[in-house]
Structure 1
Amino acid sequence: MDPQVIDLSRIQFAATALYHFLFVPLTLGLSFMLVIMESVYVMTNRPIWRVVTRFWGRIFAINFVLGVATGLTMEFQFGTNWSYFSHYVGDIFGAPLAIEGLMAFFLEATFVGIMFFGWNRLSKLGHLIVTFLVALGTNLSALWILIANGWMQNPVGATFNPDTMRMEVSDFGQVLFNPIAQAKFVHTVSAGYVCASVVVLGISAYYLLKGKWVAVARRSMTVAAAFGLASSLSVVVLGDESGYALTDNQKMKLAAIEAAWHTAPAPSGLTLFGMPDTTARTTRYKVEIPWVLGLIATRSLDKTVAGMSELVLKAHDRIESGQVAYRAVETLKNDPNNQTARAAFAMHGRDLGYAMLLKRYVADPAAATPQQIDQAAWDTVPNVPLMFWGFRVMAAIGFLMIALFATAFMLCSLRMHLNAKWFLKLAVLAIPLPWIAIELGWLVAEIGRQPWAIEGVLPTFLATSTLSRGALWTTLIGFTLLYGTLAVIEVRLILATIRHGPYEHDDDPQPLPGPIPAEPVTA
């Protein structure tokens, strides 16, 4: 195993995944915001709402195209860069991706063209149904992708078959209703709704500051304020549910997020601030809120949240158990009918993946030394400073979004948003914040799973393809240049659409009002 090949493979997948996820949240959120806006048009029959819907639909279309293009590249990497991963768990992991293509992608791909070009060919209600089906397909696509990703985080409903030497489905229902996948889905789509709401709010605020297309801008801002407030509140509530799911399924990730090196007496406190010291394995200058972590993670005051040191000891025991399973598998390769080996594997097979962690240090895990076992056990601790600070920045932005949308909702309800220039400027400046939070959320989710490609089943360093450094550098540079070009094109197209405004042929039927008057200066 060439460490640089492993690192380059991880960097390339991370780059394409993070880049792809720049487009996904906006697509998820805008799709249902279009449904809301067009529903108002159908119910009121007011032409201004048709203008509003078509304008945001154009921004949705630009983003949708880039999302599809980058998503296809990301999925192909499972075959090109992660071939052993695909071979080892393809029976399970491939099923949700196949269903996503058949159920969701085909649905949205079929109706998206009708949505864009069917305005004058369908009835109002018929076109609204098409728009809803596009939104449904977009969100179903996210559901199946996150079921696949959730299985990587919590591999339920599958077992290792020593006859085929691969993971196989044992209960597809458990794969579908995986608690990690369900929590990730609702949390992720809610974050996408917040992202789209901030974009609509910010662009509308920009128009109001410039005194342009006020009729469209104020209606768009009202929809964004209400939809964004509901979404931002749900992100926090569903994030709490995600934290509870980690307690049962990903204890090490939760401990790393909290920089909890040791198990504290119940109920555990939530660390607001601290400086994780990975050398001394302690968190310095810690500021805690008593009891809060215990309530979030265990829903109780008498249960503890496991610390990393104690979890490493459990990993140590599972590695030793996995060594027994590994020896049994090696015996079954040569003697498939050996009942003693089958009995040993049946007892210790769930820990086989932990023994494979030793392959970083020794070719035969069964021959590992106690020092190598200790090293492998501590490898189960992810990057604690990145997890600790990434989560806190993400959470802080989440609470800022609640404050932003609560203020927007209040101003829109009181019809004060047209003249609140201070808030309009804040709304424009806030546009990048959801993307920062979302990308940090993915980093926390994926780095928190390390060193596993499949939690407890397959280490990341064993999952890659046999590639050269040159091939990886070439494709990484190529993707960076291509995606950089596409990013420039998308930003220019969206900015051009914003400059052009909501009316498609420069035939605004309403005269443009003048700039918003300045607020009076008071002592």
Structure 2
Amino acid sequence: MPSVEILSRIQFAFTIAFHYIYPPLSIGLGVCLVIMEGMYLRTGIKMYEDITRFWIKIFALIFGIGVATGIVMEFEFGTNWATYSRYVGDIFGSALAAEGIFAFALESGFLGILIFGWNRVSKGVHFFSTIMVALGSMFSAVWIVIANSWQQTPTGYVIEGEGLMARAVITDFWEMVFNPSSMDRLSHVIIGAFLAGSFLVMSVGAYYIVRNRFVEPAKAMFKVGLSVAVIAALAQLFTGHRSAHYVSEYQPAKLAAMEGHWDSSAVAPMYLFGWVDNEQGKTTGLGLPGGLSFLTHGSFSAPVTGLGAFPKTERPTAVNFVFQSYHIMIAIGMILIAMTLLAVYYLWRKRLFNKKWLMTLFIWAVLLPQIANQAGWYAAEVGRQPWVVYGLLRTSDALSKDVKANQVVFSLVLFTLVYTLLFILFIYLLNKKIQHGPAMTHNEEEESDEFSKRNIKQLQNPEH
């Protein structure tokens, strides 16, 4: 049986990976909701109200599942990682308290108005609530990413106590918040969330267009999603480069693992794809000579620190996993840029919604941002090993001392069953809402034609 450390890492990875499906969707969808409702207020076209109402219902579903799956991780800190919890309690306690006060309370407080406030509050108040919910979902990400980033590049602290009783204590709150990696990582995470939410909107819109249902509302929601996605996809190039730059400076072993660079100090290629042989200390693949050197130091001939410069106990063991995860994220990022730019081109040529093959691709492309977000987290977290707090606390030392392997296996099996049921329920309810569509007041058989005619007239009205 695997060790308690491996099992606990698998358990936490599984629970956080499942949870991380939902927060990016709510963040990205929140931005799209603000745009949709803003279009309704600006134009007065009923169609924008209908699609806003439709997506608010889906947002509520995503929010509910996200909250339910996130609670489990709080308990895992105490059950599986008691030493870690004691060590970072002062740091994480302040960040998570801020998340609860400034983010969760804001989001959940205005969510009630967002869902039930139609026809009960003014349009302006309801739109303000939509903005607050969108901001609340982003603020949640802010404090969680700050806490995680402190683990990557810890600053603003002192260590009190020794051995198992040692703990990090904040000496400068704002230095902890603005640690060297927090803002770069935050921007990268938020933009990844924008992509997840906007591609969900485009996927549903493309589905309706291909099925010839709710055609005009589908076109409107697709355009909203595309406006967010194309900006986010291009911006991710910049934030990704910034994130890689901080890794090269503060976590060189992680960067070397991401690119499969082994030589202690040599010119480093940038691999497009490849395979890492961890036993032989060798990477085989297609790469741009000196590419990593240029991106890191601005020179194709500059040396880059490789894995060979670090003792085996100080570098990631699953190098190929880190390498593949990192390159999957980059490859998907390039695909998203290509898809969104192609869609913008066809939209400009007024041929986008006639391209059934492209609409079909967008239906399935909803999976791509999710895979990229997950792969990016895998690369960041596995690449940080063997440290849970970089340079300070090893993962092997962070475990609870009394937890047994069979206990972790039992809880992991239970989590798998429960989360599988939750995911099936989520997909069932999501599909049910999508099949019902945004036309809440029309007969299922007649809704598409009459709903489209009504909104076409509104769109053609000179007053709008």
**TM-score bin (small chain):** over 0.9
Secondary structure at 1:283's aligned position in 2?
A: strand
Between the aligned partners of 1:273 and 1:468, the Cα distance in structure 2 is 39
2:214 corresponds in structure 1 to 213
Contact 2:58 2:433 in 1 (8 A): yes
Between the aligned partners of 2:270 and 2:58, the Cα distance in structure 1 is 40
Secondary structure at 1:120's aligned position in 2?
A: coil
CA root-mean-square deviation: 1.9
Q: Is structure 2 residue 401 aligned with structure 1 residue 474?
A: no
Contact 2:215 2:448 in 1 (8 A): no
Q: Which is greater in Rg?
A: 1
Picking from 444, 450, 453, the partner of 1:511 is 450
User: How far 1:4 moved relative to its partner?
Assistant: 1.9
Q: Is structure 2 residue 431 aligned with structure 1 residue 495?
A: yes
Which amino acid in 1 is paired with 2:210? L
User: How far 1:89 moved relative to its partner?
Assistant: 1.9
1:114 corresponds in structure 2 to 113
Give the TM-score normalised by structure 1.
0.82
Range with greater deviation from structure 2 (104-113 or 76-85): 76-85
Between the aligned partners of 1:132 and 1:513, the Cα distance in structure 2 is 28
Deviations 1:453-476 (A, max 9, x none): 111111111111121223222221
Contact 1:211 1:513 in 2 (8 A): no
User: How far 1:185 moved relative to its partner?
Assistant: 0.9
Secondary structure at 1:60's aligned position in 2?
A: helix
2:67 corresponds in structure 1 to 68
Equivalences for residues 304-383 of structure 1 within 5 A: 304-312=303-311, 377-383=312-318
User: How far 1:16 moved relative to its partner?
Assistant: 0.5
User: How far 1:6 moved relative to its partner?
Assistant: 1.5
Equivalences for residues 131-150 of structure 1 within 5 A: 131-150=130-149
User: How far 1:24 moved relative to its partner?
Assistant: 1.4
Structure 2 residue ranges without an equivalent (≥5)? 454-464
User: How far 1:415 moved relative to its partner?
Assistant: 2.4
User: How far 1:175 moved relative to its partner?
Assistant: 1.1
Equivalences for residues 364-443 of structure 1 within 5 A: 377-443=312-378
Between the aligned partners of 1:378 and 1:191, the Cα distance in structure 2 is 32
1:225 corresponds in structure 2 to 226
User: How far 1:93 moved relative to its partner?
Assistant: 2.1
Deviations 1:9-43 (A, max 9, x none): 11111110000001111111001110011111111
Which amino acid in 2 is paired with 1:31? G
Between the aligned partners of 1:248 and 1:498, the Cα distance in structure 2 is 46
User: How far 1:63 moved relative to its partner?
Assistant: 0.7
Deviations 1:110-161 (A, max 9, x none): 1111110001111111111100000001000000000011011111122222
Structure 1 residue ranges without an equivalent (≥5)? 313-376, 515-523
Between the aligned partners of 1:147 and 1:467, the Cα distance in structure 2 is 29
Contact 1:118 1:127 in 2 (8 A): yes
2:249 corresponds in structure 1 to 248
User: How far 1:379 moved relative to its partner?
Assistant: 4.8
Secondary structure at 1:305's aligned position in 2?
A: strand
Give the TM-score normalised by structure 2.
0.92
2:102 corresponds in structure 1 to 103
Between the aligned partners of 1:244 and 1:418, the Cα distance in structure 2 is 40
Secondary structure at 1:418's aligned position in 2?
A: helix
Q: Is structure 2 residue 398 aligned with structure 1 residue 463?
A: yes
Between the aligned partners of 1:197 and 1:34, the Cα distance in structure 2 is 10
User: How far 1:435 moved relative to its partner?
Assistant: 1.2
Deviations 1:147-185 (A, max 9, x none): 011011111122222476322122222211113121111
Summarize the Cα distance change of 1:6–1:303 in structure 2 as closer, same or farther, 3 Å threshold.
same
Deviations 1:41-81 (A, max 9, x none): 11111111101111111111111100011111112211121
User: How far 1:264 moved relative to its partner?
Assistant: 4.8
Between the aligned partners of 2:307 and 2:136, the Cα distance in structure 1 is 40
Contact 1:256 1:382 in 2 (8 A): no
2:296 corresponds in structure 1 to 297
1:318 corresponds in structure 2 to none
Between the aligned partners of 1:38 and 1:489, the Cα distance in structure 2 is 28
User: How far 1:414 moved relative to its partner?
Assistant: 2.7
